[in-house]
Structure formats: structure tokens, C-alpha cells
Structure 1
Amino acid sequence: MGTGHDTSGTPETEILIVGAGPVGTTLALELARQGVASTLVERHTGRSPYPKMDFLNGRSMELLRRLGVVDEIRAKGVGAGHACRFHWSADFSEAPVAAWEYASVSELDRRGEATNDGTSGLEAYQRLPGNILEEILRDRAAAHPLVDLRTGTAVLGLDQGEDHVTVHLRDGGGEYASRAGYVVGCDGAGSTVRREAGIPTEAHGPSGDHRDVYFRSSDPMLRRHGRYFLNIVATGITLVSRDEQDTWTAFFPVAEHEEDDAVTIMRRRLGVELDVDEVVHTATWKGNMAVAARYRQGRILLAGDSAHQFYPTGGHGANTGIGDAVDLGWKLGAFVRGWGGPGLLDGYEAERRPVALFNLEMCANLLEVWGRFPRLAASGASRQTLAGFLREEEHQIENLAIHFDYRYGSSPIVIPGAGTEPPWSWRGTTPTTWPGGRPPHVRLQDGTPLFDLLGAEFTLVDFGADGAGTAAVEAAEKRGMPLLHLPVSDPWARSVWGHDLVLVRPDQHVAWRGATPPEDWGTVLDAVRGASAIGSDDGSRA
């Protein structure tokens, strides 16, 4: 390898992120929010020609709100008045046998403002083509002084040393080597970083080849039976409305010996001579259900599709990856800055891998319905039978808890709560400050969302009036740990949160809670910043 850069001595960059898709850019922006610089390399020079994902769930939107990008995402996404409607069509030329409908963003916002009881999210979901999200986040990263974005730069290989990783790169000027303190692979399902780290993936479901046709069409045939987000057709094809206007994607499994061009296959499976104004892009992809055996190998870590792969059913891929990026970002940032202990990096896999495994099962759950529908139609089941079957499965899209209520209850950097864990409900969020979970969204008396007052650092939300936060701040200062003490005088918010003292992490998950201060704030803070093991008997469990 050539050495266009000096690879001796101090690393050129403390953190090198490979892949500037939504996950890699979110990670870079999260690190910057923590005051930590990173280098972000991307082999492509422009945005992806193909949107891939098209759905940001409400929790992802809450996390991205912290980065200041939600308004732009809303402005460039599908309008708030459009509901998410799923059509299930036995024959594309006929009316659907069933239609699932999930409320529009406007309706969800209205419901949340009317209740204000912690059962809704601060942000509702957003439909947005993934390549537009990529462009928004990449532009933000490129403009940030703490992010060194290098496009047209490919990773050829990695050599991990005791105190650094040597990264072999190639850009327009040739090949060279660079040193990094840590490398994070956000480079997709075929991750070079994962391969170089020697981390295998564990398959958990079916695998198969698929084709996508990304196209524009104003043919009224597409909406002959009304508007929809997805139309799942029993002849083996799914249509996705990308913008509620004229941009679409059709995807379908590739049958053996089916060698016609993608548009011909699309028309054949739809059973209509659909007018296509423009084919923007076609792609072949392999559907996988897999999770990496581990998320870390020394100084090399994985996030996003490099760590887990899902089918598109359920919209888990990018959303799980954004959760990875935020979780890893604050932990890696804290460790690099020196106030976080080594337990933070161990806590990354301990928290995020179980979420990926759970989401994989939820993806498989919906994929089963996707598979059974065409099989039932082919077996001769009547329209009424198909409609009855699908009616029983409509709960699949009323799945707020999957998005909002994942809990890091077994995390080594969360202090367990006393008593019995609150129930988990498929259809809605459970308003609780149970340690490891997301605290409830509630608006204060002046209309301010409590979430918006949480800091980029740890935040001690203090509903009491006895000055308990002073000792916590002093203990944090001794450790160089940033801690925001947030007194809140709001009886309604206190009733929803349920405890006088709640310690919230930078990723808006609860690290500890108590009715009274612990005997020793230092013990609590050392545990949640990964500097000591949890398990003390000093009264910090509450």
C-alpha cells in the first residue's frame, strides 16, 4: 500500500466512520453534538439514485429532532395529511380485498396534543425517500466543523493494532493509509468493515433475490381503487407510493429463469400494461434476515445494516440503524472525551443487539402475512376469506411499542428499578420512567415539551424542591462528567413521570430514577458512565 499520509504517532482521526448513509451521517452528527470530531468516508460522490427506505418511525424522528433536522425532513417528505394505507389486492385490476389504515401525521399530532399523558410520541412518523434523507443528513454533516466528510473514498482494508486501526483507503489521488483510534462500519449489508474485522453474521430467516423498479408514472390505473402507501398484490409484487404523486417503486422476488427486464416483469405481475413515464433506477437485492454475531471487535464497531439486515416489511432497517447511531454516538463520544468509562463500549452491544434481534422477529412476523396472502389467494380462498384473514392481522401496523418502548433493562450501564417492570403493550407506548426505557413525552403548562429541555449530556430531571440536584452536579464535576440539573415545577408532568428524580441519558433513555437521592451520587454516576460495575447496595436502586 502507498502511504500518502503519515501513519506513525498520534492517529489522524480519533473516530473514522465508513459509510455516509443515514446511519453514518447520524453517527457523525451525534458525535459532533457531544463535541467530538470524526472523519466520515463514503465511496460514492453523490446521493444514492435509489431511495431504499421510505419510512422514519416516530422514535427516529424524536432522535433526529435532537439534531435539528426534523423541520427539513418534514418539508421534503410526504404531506402530514396523508394516512398510511395498505391495500391487499388479489388481482391488481380489482378492488382490494382489504385495506389497512394507519392515521396520518396530522391526526396523530392532534391526538397527542389532546391527551398529553405520555402515551404518544413527541414526533409522529414521516414518509420520506431514503436518498432524500441521506442528502439532508450528508449536507448537515458536510457543513459541520467537527465532521470531515470525504466522498469518493473507499476502504480497502483494516489492520487493527493495540492502540489504533490502520485504514487502507483509495480516493481520486490513489491509495494511502491512515490511522484512526476507532473505526465504525456503517457501510451496509456487504460491509467491508465487518469482513475485515472477522465478524460473522447469524442468519435468522429466509433469504432470496429481489428486483426493484423505481419509476415515475401518472397512469390513473395506479390509483384506480384509491390512494395507498403500499399495495401488496397476490401475484407476487408490491407497489410503494414514494411521494403520493407520481414516483413509485415496485419490488418483487426473482423467479428462477425469469430473465426479462424488470419493467416487463412488473407489468406481467400487475396484469396491466402500465404506462411508465420514466424508469429512474432498477436494482437487484438479496433479502436477508441476519444479525452480526457481535457488534465490536476491539477498536472496530458496527452499526446499521453492517450489523443487521431485515426485509423491508415493517420499516425496521434504517430505524434500527438510527437508534444504533445515537446509542453509539454518545457512548463513544463520552469515552473519547475521557469522562466515560470502558463499560460504555461494552454497553453498546448489550443494548442494541437485543433490539435488532427483537425487530428481526417483528419483521418476520409481518413477512409471514406477506407470504401467506398470495399463497391463500393461489389456493382458491374467496375474497371474504382473505378479507377475514387480513382483518385479524391489521394490528401489525398499530405497533407503537415496537418503535418507542424498547427497553435496555439488562444493560450493564442502567441501574435496575425496584419492583415489577411495567407491562408492554403492542399498540401504544406505556408512560413510565422504568430504567432502560424511554421516558414519557409530556408538555409542560406553558406548552414546552419536556423532551426539548433535556440536554446533550446527562440530565437530572428534578421534580422535588429540596435541592437534591446540587450534590449530583458536584459529584459529576469531580468526574469531569457533563450533567444538566433540570428542576421542573409541573404537577402534571410529575404525575406522568412518577418519580421525583429521573436521570436521563443523552439518548433520552432513563439511566436511574428515585423517590429520594441515593446515599452516594458518585456510585450512581460511575455506574451509568461505564466506569464501574452495577450492583451496589447503597440504596441507589429505586
Structure 2
Amino acid sequence: MVFDVVIIGAGPNGLMLACELALAGVRPIVLERRTGPSTEQRANGLVGRIVPMLHRRGLYERLTGRPGAPVPAPGHVFGAFHLKLDDIPDNPMDLLLAPQQKIEAMLAERAAELGVEIRGGHSLTDLDQKDDRVVAVVDGPDGPYRIEARYLVGADGGRSVTRKLSGFAFPGVTDDRSVSRTAAVDVPEGLRDPVTGGLLIPGYGLVPPFQHHRTERGLVAWAPFPDGRNLITAATTDRPVPMQTAAEAGGKAPGEVPVTLDEVLESLAYVLGVAVPLLPPTGPEPHTLRRLSGGNTRIADRYRQGRVLLLGDAAHVHSAIGGPGLNLGLQDAINLGWKLAAQVRGWAPEGLLDTYESERRPVAERVVMHTQAQSLLAGPGPAVTALRTLFAELMEEKAVVGRLAALIAGTDFRYEHCGAFGPDLGALTHSGRPLLVDDTGALAAIAAPWRDRVDVVTVPGVDAMLIRPDNYVAWTGASGEGLTSALARWFGAPARLT
């Protein structure tokens, strides 16, 4: 049995791709080495363009639990600066606060509804590309076996086995000086500011919520989530991680000492200069407690090699500051899904699948650029303080704040041969099919040869436009001029001629 697509990794990116492929009539199978949901808390929400895109698929309400479209946030952060956005024209900063586990669980539920098979406890150990398929060797609960698919996608994270087995290079830089420590906590009586929700710390002052709070010694992030979880993070530079001695390791190779809440609070006291009497968490488990040492900034030398493609962190890793990683990976999946489906189903125009890299790599490069800049701006030391003084003066201009907001949200970048992000068309975009909005009824005849893959719809008050499945506008016009070329460029040769 040959599957259409095998996806390695059932994190949010792999699951999003599986949903997109299934919507397009392609049969994916997802292999995941874990046997259950991840207990590691990483992203705490989504920001920017991916939020309205999830709304376009009918998934936003599943995460928020309430009806209605996303509403832009009145503020955000950039390099430990607060961005005031409530008076910025066309504020692009859509925000969705949801833990990564919840996002992953929602996507797994949606994938199951669409008939996607997800195999837990199955790890990729080898692969071999043939002319017409990929043969993957998998270690499962019942032993090793082989699985064949027309394409294989590695969505297996920054340490991607798919990437290594396929020979992709992963150039970039490693910073081993920084350490970030995060813990779930409870807050003693009187330590929470009733107005802002920030921490009121005796001997220090206010640490505002949902911002990167910088001092000369490091960075603090305080996150009191609406669901009752409280996370505190302290990031420092040049403070070594505790290591086991050989005796402590009990004959095993010495390694890092497991992180404790006391270690997190000690790091927090170092950054702020005063002790903070936070308490162990008492809410439902799992309770986040992690230490991240160093960081990598890397982008794969290519996103595709024959019938093997990389997705999300398997293709690019970068600083976590600003939280763009999951936003970027989910948008990768939505971009790749319809193009890979077109390739599998046989109607993709020449070069369509290669536009996955040509469109998404520049976006990853911009994310790498601005996360590196933010890391520098949020760093410790008097020279950085001087730079921040200058930067703060520049941010007094609304145009600068708007530019930074667009950079974080990803709205400052457009694909070649495409226009802006499409309008909200309600349930019409839930199917993931291309849409031709025909406001006059005159365009249906032009699009008739593509009716097997493009839906023609009438939406009062919306100008005529051709919208790709990822909601980017591929053509606009009232007369129909250029529509045939746009249809052929993105959706292949017509099934029949009129």
C-alpha cells in the first residue's frame, strides 16, 4: 500500500498540514514517536497572520470557545519594548492566547474528523527515495516495518531525523551563553496588581504582564493566563547551568542537574535584584518547569529534496523571543498543503511545489532577522541600555510602531505574483478550496474549465478576485482580463476547453 503523504511528527505543524491535505482530498498518515500528548509547554499563543487564517478554516472558535472573528490586540512587545497599537491604523496584531498543548489537541481532533490516521509510538529510522515514491523505515510498538508514500514531510522539530537522514544542510549560528528558566507558580496575596495583572514586587516595583521586562542583568516575562495558569520566566547571560558530578550521576555520564523551582526563583532574584516570594503551583498538572540553554539560529539549505520536504522547526529554528516559531510553522503548513495536494492529484502546474520554498523561505529569513534584533535589544549591559534609549526615541513615531507591528504580524511581506491577504468570506473558506469571487456573474464562463478545482462564488459587496486556498489573492479585476493566466499559473491546465 502506497500512501499519498507520510508526515513525520504530530506536533501542531504536522497536524495542520495533515488537515490541509485531507481537505484537498489527499490521504496523509502521521507518524509520531510520542505515545501521548506532549507535556512540554512551549508556545503560549499565536500572533499575527496565522490567527485570521485559523478563523478562515473555522478553527479559531474551537480555541477561543466563543463566536466571532479575531480582534486586534491593543498592544504587543518588541525587544522588551511595549508597542502601543490601539491608535495604529489597520492594526495587524491579531492575538490568540492558548497553550500549545491546547492547539495541538484541537488540530488532532480536527485531523481525526477528516479521517487522518495518526500512529503514536512510531519513529522514523531510515528512508530511501525512489523515482516515484519514498520508502520509510519505521520503528513501531510491534517492531520495525516499512511504509511507502509518494511524498514524505519532516515536521519533526529542530533536531529533525528526517532532515538528517535526507542530507539537508542546516547552516547557522549557535549561542551557548544564554539560559532561560520557566516555571508555573502561584502568587501570594497582595503580590498581584489588581489593575494591570502584573506583579507588585516589594523593593522593586511592577513587572507588567505579557511583556518582556528588561533589567541590566537579564529579562523577565510574567504571564497570568485567563485560564488560571501563571508562568514566570527569567533569562540570563553567562550564568552557567548546574552540572552533575560523576558521583552524583551514579556511574552514568554527568549531565545537567534537573531544573527546580528554587533555581528559577534564584535566577529571577538575580535579574531583578530582589527575592520574589512566588509559590509552587497548586492547579491541575502538568506544571511547566523547564530550562532552555543556549539557542540556535538556522535555516535549512533547502526546503525540498526530491520527494522529501521540511516543515516548521525542521526547516528553521531561531530565538524564541517574540514567540514567532509556531506562527511561522503553521503558515508553512497552510502554504504547503494545497500545493502538495495539487502535486499528488496531478493538476499542479510546473514549479508550483517549488514555490513553497520561494515563498516561505524569505518569511523565515525575516523572522530570523527580527528575532535576532529583539534578542540584542533585550540583552543586558550598559551599551544595550544606550541603544534602547535611542530606539525608544524612534518609537515615539507612530509610523515606526506600525512598521514593527507589521513585521511581527507578517503583514509587511507579500508573495511574488500575489496580492494582499484575502477578505473574510465566512464559511466559504472552511473547505480549503480555491475561490473565484464573481461579483457580476460574468466570470463563471472563464473559470468553467477549472471548476473541478476552483469554486465560483458570489459575495455581495466584494470585488472580483481569485483567492488561493491559503487566502492570498492571486488575481483581481472587473473585466476578467488576466484571469485565465492566473488560473493556469496557480491551478494548472484546464480540465477541458470551452
User: Do these two structures clear the TM 0.5 threshold for a shared fold by scoring above it?
Assistant: yes
Indicate conservation of the 8 Å contact 2:49/2:411, yes or no.
no
Unaligned regions of 5+ residues in structure 1, if any? 1-9, 89-97, 415-434, 442-448, 495-500, 533-542
Confirm whether residue 252 of structure 1 aligns to residue 235 of structure 2: yes
> Is the contact between residue 355 and residue 406 of structure 1 (CA under 8 Å) also seen in structure 2?
no
Letter in 2 for 1:299: R
Worse overlay, 209-218 or 144-153: 209-218
**Partner residue, 2:409:** 403
Secondary structure of the residue aligned to 2:488 is: helix
Instruction: Select which of 21, 42, 46 maps to 2:11.
Output: 21
User: Partner of 2:348 in structure 1?
Assistant: 340
Identify which of 207, 221, 224 aligns with 1:239: 221
Q: Which residue of 1 aligns with 2:335?
A: 327
- Residues matched between the structures, number: 447
User: Alignment partner for residue 434 of structure 2, among 458, 461, 466?
Assistant: 458
The question of 1:276 aligning with 2:247 is answered: no
1:508 aligns with 2:471: yes
- In the alignment, structure 1 residue 469 sits paired with structure 2 residue 444: yes
Over the residues paired in the alignment, what is the CA RMSD in angstroms?
3.3
Q: Is 1:315 the counterpart of 2:323 in the alignment?
A: yes
User: CA offset at residue 387 of structure 1?
Assistant: 6.1
Alignment pair present for 1:390 and 2:380: no
User: Could you tell me which residue of structure 2 aligns to residue 60 of structure 1?
Assistant: 50
> In the aligned structure 2, how far is the partner of 1:356 from the partner of 1:30?
21
8 A Cα contact 2:179 2:236, kept in partner: yes
- Tell me, yes or no, if the aligned pair for 2:78 and 2:322 is still in contact at 8 Å: no
Conserved? CA contact 1:186–1:302, under 8 Å: yes
Q: How far apart in 1 are the matches of 2:135 and 2:290?
A: 36
1:54-133 correspondence to structure 2 within 5 Å: 54-75=44-65, 84=75, 100-102=82-84, 119=90, 124-133=94-103
CA distance in 2, matches of 1:25, 1:290: 23
Deviations 1:213-266 (A, max 9, x none): 222221327610264102423222322415154420414246354427532334
- 1:452 Cα deviation (Å)? 4.3
How far apart in 2 are the matches of 1:452 and 1:406?
A: 26
Aligned to 2:255: none
Taking structure 1 as reference, are residues 342 and 43 closer, same or farther at Cα in structure 2, changes over 3 Å only? farther
Query: What is the percent sequence identity of the aligned residues?
Result: 28
Residue 460 of structure 1 and its aligned partner are, at CA, apart by 1.2
Pair 1:82–1:272, CA change in 2 (3 A): farther
3-state secondary structure, aligned to 1:313: coil
User: Contact 1:406 / 1:437 at 8 angstroms: preserved in 2?
Assistant: no
Kept in 2, the 8 Å contact 1:23–1:321? The answer is: yes
Report which stretch shifted further, 290-299 or 160-169: 160-169
Letter in 2 for 1:277: P
1:487 aligns with 2:458: yes
Q: State whether residues 461 and 485 of structure 1, in contact with CA within 8 Å, keep that contact through their aligned partners in structure 2.
A: yes
Deviation per CA, 1:334-393: give whole Å up to 9, x if none: 22122223422111111111111122112223222112xx222887x7xxx966753534
**Could you tell me how far 1:211 is from its partner in structure 2?**
3.4
Looking at structure 2, the residues matched to 204 and 24 of structure 1 have their Cα atoms a distance apart, in angstroms, of: 26
1:166 counterpart = 2:172: no
Q: Which residue of 2 aligns with 1:438?
A: 421
Deviations 1:494-531 (A, max 9, x none): 4xxxxxx321111111222334223782x442221256
1:431 aligns with none
State whether residues 72 and 91 of structure 2, in contact with CA within 8 Å, keep that contact through their aligned partners in structure 1: no
Change (3 A) 1:61 1:378: closer
* Equivalent position of 1:178 in the other structure: 147
Q: Paired residue for 2:170, among 193, 201, 222?
A: 201
| Letter paired with 1:525 | L
- Displacement of 1:49 in angstroms is 2.1
User: Structure 1 residues 364, 254: closer, same or farther in 2, change over 3 A?
Assistant: closer
Q: CA deviation at 1:401?
A: 5.3
Indicate the SS of the match to 1:345.
coil
How far has the Cα of 1:160 moved from its partner?
1.3
| Partner Cα distance (1:99, 1:525) in 2 | 44
**1:309 shift after superposition:** 0.9
Q: CA deviation digits over 1:309-341, x for unaligned, max 9?
A: 121122221111111000101111122122223
Given the two structures, how large is their TM-score scaled by the length of structure 1?
0.74
Give the deviation of 1:172 after TM superposition: 1.8
In 2 relative to 1, CA 180–81 (structure 1 residues): closer, same or farther, beyond 3 Å?
Answer: closer
TM-score (norm 2): 0.80
Higher mean C-alpha displacement, 212-221 vs 317-326:
212-221
2: CA distance, partners of 1:488 / 1:520: 18
Contact 2:83/2:401, CA 8 A, preserved across alignment: no
Inter-CA distance 341–250: structure 2 relative to 1 (3 Å threshold): same
Residue 337 and residue 208 in structure 1: after superposition, are their counterparts in 2 closer, same or farther (change >3 A)? farther
Q: Give 1:229's aligned residue.
A: 210
**Residue of structure 2 aligned with 1:139, choices 106, 109, 113:** 109
Partner of residue 528 from structure 1, selected from 487, 490, 496: 490
Q: How far apart in 2 are the matches of 1:401 and 1:203?
A: 22
- 1:195 is displaced (CA, Å) by 0.8
Letter in 1 for 2:473: V
Counterpart residue type for residue 476 of structure 1: W
Provide the secondary structure at the position in 2 that maps to 1:228: coil
Deviation at 1:165, TM superposition (A): 1.1
The CA distance in 2 between the partners of 1:277 and 1:53, in whole Å, is: 21
Equivalent of 1:36 in 2, 19, 26: 26
Q: Per the alignment, do residues 247 and 519 of structure 1 end up closer, same or farther by CA in structure 2, a change over 3 Å counting?
A: closer
